Amino acid sequence: MVKIEQDILAKNDGYAERNRRTLADKGIFAVNLVSSPGSGKTTLLCRTIEALKARLAIAVIEGDQQTEFDAERIRATGAPALQINTGKGCHLDAHMVGHALETLAPPDDSLLLIENVGNLVCPAAFDLGEAHKVVILSVTEGEDKPLKYPDMFRAAGLMLLSKCDLLPHLSFDTDRAIDFARRVNPGLEVIQLSSTSGEGFDAWLAWLEQGVAGARAGRRDQVEALKKRIAELEAQLAAK
């Protein structure tokens, strides 16, 4: 069983590296959003797209076991979205995402948002070629989720503490939740936000825009390095 798992992950990692190279070559900033079901991922994406679509080109890959409901909600914002139905599968994998990239063909210097299947276990192990995993923890869940599902919180670069507008009606302890998350991953960034009230959204949008700017700069650096190398080779040929 261990060997089978290792083989599956190794094959997935190969596809992930291919995706990562494709995204880097095009200057696309890709984010993999992961959470339990019902954390508010799709609502978060819709509000994010509405806020950024005048400034950025955005495409979305939606992962669910069945239905196209979430992709339809995304398309209603004007952003292109491709639905992947995994059937009995509990996560997206890099091969699926690679095919989705070919179909969506997001433009250079854009933002790609991947909404994974609602699950805090399997998606932690599967690299999709994304720049970051973003784990969403809703305040309607327990503060101990990071300790119960440590692999996911350890794999993430950012935690969004969502539905914060509901805090006055709950006994959820935000400090405790953040402390638990950072016990698992001391370097984890945290943004508290609400897709309903807009609280914390400026910080979330700024984080995304900074990532897009970095991906664009990386593509420009690659292009300049290639131009320099071509010039060097041409000079060497001319000298002969």
Structure tokens belonging to residue 112: 């790609």
- Specify the pTM: 0.90
What confidence score (pLDDT) does residue 224 get?
A: 87
Helices (H), the chain: 2-26, 41-52, 69-75, 94-104, 145-148, 150-155, 174-184, 201-239
Q: At what angle do helices 41-52 and 201-239 cross, to 10 degrees?
A: 60
Cα separation, 176 vs 154, in Å, equals 17
Cα separation, 49 vs 59, in Å, equals 9
Number of helices followed by number of strands (H, E) in the chain: 8, 7
How would you write the pLDDT of the chain (240 residues) with one tens digit per residue? Answer: 555 556 678 899 999 999 999 999 999 999 999 999 889 999 999 999 999 999 999 999 999 888 888 899 999 999 999 999 988 778 899 999 999 999 999 999 999 999 999 899 989 999 999 999 999 999 999 999 999 999 999 999 999 999 999 999 999 999 999 999 999 999 999 999 999 999 999 999 999 999 999 999 999 988 888 888 888 888 888 887
Distance of CA 173 to the CA centre of its chain: 26
Using left for φ > 0, alpha for ψ between -120 and 50, and beta otherwise, residue 87 falls in left
DSSP code for 189: E
Delimit the domains of the chain by residue range: 2-239
DSSP code for 106: P
Count other C-beta atoms under 10 Å from residue 173's C-beta. Answer: 14
Rg (C-alpha) for the chain, rounded Å, is 19
List the Cα angle 222/227/232 in 5-degree steps: 125
Cα separation, 159 vs 8, in Å, equals 27
Q: What CATH number is given for 2-239 in this structure?
A: 3.40.50.300
Site of tokens 């997935």: 12
Contact 85, 62 (CB under 8 A): no
Report helix, strand or coil for 198: coil
